[in-house]
Amino acid sequence: MSNAETPEVTDDDEFVVGRTSDLAEGERMIVLLDGAEVGVFNVGGEYVAYPNWCPHMGAPLCEGPLDGTIESSFDKETLETDLSWGREDEMLSCPWHGFEFDVTSGECRSDGQYKLREFPTRVEDGHIIVSLGFA
């Protein structure tokens, strides 16, 4: 099969959502799969997918700002703390109340009781395939 052909999926819960070339690093797409809105993200060349639904109060989470965050480190020898900006395009903020989610893990950094359920993804022949079966 060449890269121009769309792979066939055999599982009922699998969907070809687009080409890898259509989703650059740090970008996302929102797709409708079997009636469910799903956010698909390219995080450093890895593809992750989550429901477009915030577990706090149901906002369209995957449409929120995608940014980095402040990271800190502490040197026990000098007792100095260093703050730096990092993890660019890995932090997703909910558009309603601003809860911050790590798109690499689904963890909520604002409130530990919330975590995103990830949809399995894979790449085949240059296409991104998402399964609605949870990982």
CB of 8 to ligand FES, least distance (A): 37
For residue 87, the surrounding DSSP H or E stretch is strand 80-93
CB of 74 to ligand FES, least distance (A): 29
Between residues 97 and 117, which has the closer beta carbon with respect to ligand FES? 97
Between residues 28 and 56, which has the closer beta carbon with respect to ligand FES? 56
Between residues 99 and 119, which has the closer beta carbon with respect to ligand FES? 99
Could you tell me if 68 and 99 are in contact, meaning their C-beta atoms sit under 8 angstroms apart?
A: no
CB of 97 to ligand FES, least distance (A): 3
- CA-closest candidate to residue 48, choices 62, 64, 33: 62
Binding site for ligand FES (CB under 6 A): 54, 56-57, 59, 61, 94, 96-97, 99
- CA-closest candidate to residue 55, choices 120, 132, 107: 107
* Tokens coding 6: 């769309």
Between residues 93 and 121, which has the closer beta carbon with respect to ligand FES? 93
Could you tell me if 5 and 119 are in contact, meaning their C-beta atoms sit under 8 angstroms apart?
A: no
